[in-house]
Structure 1
Amino acid sequence: MRSSAADIYEIAMGRWSRRLARAFLAFVDAPACGTLLDVGCGTGSLTLAAATRYPSADITGIDLMPDYLGEALLNAAPNVRFDTGDAGHLPYETASFDATFSQLVLNDLANPQQALHEMQRVTRPGGIIAATVWDRAGGLAFLRLFLDAAAILFDGEGEALRARIFKVPYHDEDALLDLWADAGLSEIGTATLSIRMDFLDFNDYWQSLLGSHSLIREFFTSLDGEQAHHLQSTVRRAYIAGDMDGKRSLVASALAVRGIHAA
């Protein structure tokens, strides 16, 4: 039975983060033969995509959760190593990497500015520093199906849940640009990257949804049986959109930023 944090993440987000990784790496445009660092690598979606894209590069992934790294090691590539460590206190020498990047992490950190400072410290002058975050409010249709239904059906609590999940520091390209500019990075560029989330049926969607965010799981499991059934039925109606249950493809968007570490 799949129950670890890494297993839950893989069911809910791993397949989507792998799709996003390809688009993000094209945006980052890291040196093909360089030393690359993936900060907050999780189960290794971005790290391993970088290994495939840059087979001549030396790539390191670092994450605070050993459970995630255990999953990443199952698919380790010859040019990849994984370390355990904190994004706010990276265990590397100054100017160790040619490019440093992070996928879907900044909005979940207690101190993203400190993490960016550390990314700068370990990146060589002239190196690339980049990050991407989900556009939660405007770009995650699979979340909105649930959160809008919860807000309508359960007024106070549902509205509060939606507000908490959508309230993140970096919610648009301008916010990311300002973070990079305030840190003194140069040649800053931003983009919105889109992928498709393809679900086999409503049950596939529902399992991904419940694994996507702890607040969603906690909210749904706190409901009594009748409330839970009403909410799930409402979301199902939104998912099937007047058709039979089956495959659906929903758009998911992420916000990306890159800049150059000044010499």
Structure 2
Amino acid sequence: MNSTSADIYEIAMGRWSRRLSRSFLDFVAAPSCGSLIDVGCGTGSLTLAAATRYPNAKIVGIDLMTDYLTEALRNTATNVRFETGDASALPFANDSFDTAFSQLLLNDLDGPAGAVGEMVRVTRAKGRIAATVWDRAGGLTFIRLFLDAAAILVDGSGEDLRKKVFDVPYQNEDALFDLWADAGLHDVDTTTIAVRMDFLDFDDYWQSLLGAHSLIREFFANLSPELAHDVQQATMRAFLGGKADGRRSLVASALAVRGIVPS
């Protein structure tokens, strides 16, 4: 059976985003009732975490990828509805929500400022706007193990891959702060959130890695069998750290920002 985009995402990043959601909601500190929107909800990690935390709230999850919004997901929580839509042109009226948040979306958009502007537009005065992105350059150890090996072993294209994955607009808290301030938000605050993940063994890690980013999957699939073997073995040595195969715990960090819509 062919894997869907949602299946691949869940294997690779779903485990991370579910853990990140809990800490991110602590930082957002949204009101326990009212209406909330999760922009770029993906497979619903943040949306469903918010539904559990705020059972009296009405929550909307919206994503452009229809494969993510499965029927099973749509029927998971009674206080949630999922819709298909573009983060840069949200299909909602002005002042529709009390809180708008987004997890792991902004660095994958061509125009992040437009999406932030839309979040501000659909949120009422004094409402909260928050987002988090992976700290790709300094905080994604489980991806860096592979990318560093690829950069060393594969002339040219390995280094190019590392640059493409890590060279994103928002690489530190200051950049996110400026994005929020430029959107006219008040009381802007930032933080870094650490998430720890256990992998059963190298195979568990490897399957997660290959689903983590489409560029990584495509790069590895296009290597010659000999070079693919060398890159995988180098990554495995880095993962094992000189010890026998087995459970490993790796940490990723995410950058988060929040602000208040002015009156």
Identical aligned pairs, as a percentage? 70
Q: Which runs of 5+ in 2 are unaligned?
A: none
Quote how far apart the aligned CAs of 1:236 are.
Answer: 0.4
- Residues 1:234 and 1:10: Cα distance change in structure 2 (over 3 Å): same
Quote how far apart the aligned CAs of 1:88 are.
Answer: 0.6
What is the alpha-carbon root mean square deviation over aligned residues? Answer: 1.0
- Residues 1:74 and 1:35: Cα distance change in structure 2 (over 3 Å): closer
- Residues 1:75 and 1:125: Cα distance change in structure 2 (over 3 Å): same
Per-residue CA deviation, residues 38-75 of structure 1 (Å, 9 max, x unaligned), is 00001000000000111111111001111101166266
Aligned 8 A contact 1:150 1:159 in 2: yes
Query: What residue is the counterpart of 1:187 in the other structure?
Result: 187
Q: Measure the CA separation in 1 of the matches of 2:148 and 2:173.
A: 24
Which letter does structure 1 place at the counterpart of 2:41?
Answer: C
Query: What residue is the counterpart of 1:164 in the other structure?
Result: 164
Give SS of 2:194's match: strand
1:47-196 equivalent positions in 2, closer than 5 A: 47-70=47-70, 73=73, 76-196=76-196
Q: Measure the CA separation in 1 of the matches of 2:168 and 2:54.
A: 32
Q: Measure the CA separation in 1 of the matches of 2:31 and 2:8.
A: 33
Give SS of 1:34's match: strand
Q: Measure the CA separation in 2 of the matches of 1:108 and 1:258.
A: 19
Query: What residue is the counterpart of 1:253 in the other structure?
Result: 253
Higher alpha-carbon deviation: 54-63 or 69-78: 69-78
Q: Measure the CA separation in 1 of the matches of 2:2 and 2:191.
A: 35
Q: Measure the CA separation in 2 of the matches of 1:71 and 1:21.
A: 22
1:6-17 equivalent positions in 2, closer than 5 A: 6-17=6-17
Q: Which runs of 5+ in 1 are unaligned?
A: none
Where do 4+ consecutive residues of structure 1 move more than 3 Å?
A: none
Query: What residue is the counterpart of 1:201 in the other structure?
Result: 201
Aligned 8 A contact 2:74 2:81 in 1: no
1:23-42 equivalent positions in 2, closer than 5 A: 23-42=23-42
Quote how far apart the aligned CAs of 1:155 are.
Answer: 3.1
Quote how far apart the aligned CAs of 1:234 are.
Answer: 0.6
- Residues 1:151 and 1:72: Cα distance change in structure 2 (over 3 Å): farther
Q: Measure the CA separation in 1 of the matches of 2:72 and 2:126.
A: 29
Quote how far apart the aligned CAs of 1:217 are.
Answer: 0.7
TM-score by length of 2: 0.98
Quote how far apart the aligned CAs of 1:110 are.
Answer: 1.3
Query: What residue is the counterpart of 2:234 in the other structure?
Result: 234
TM-score by length of 1: 0.98
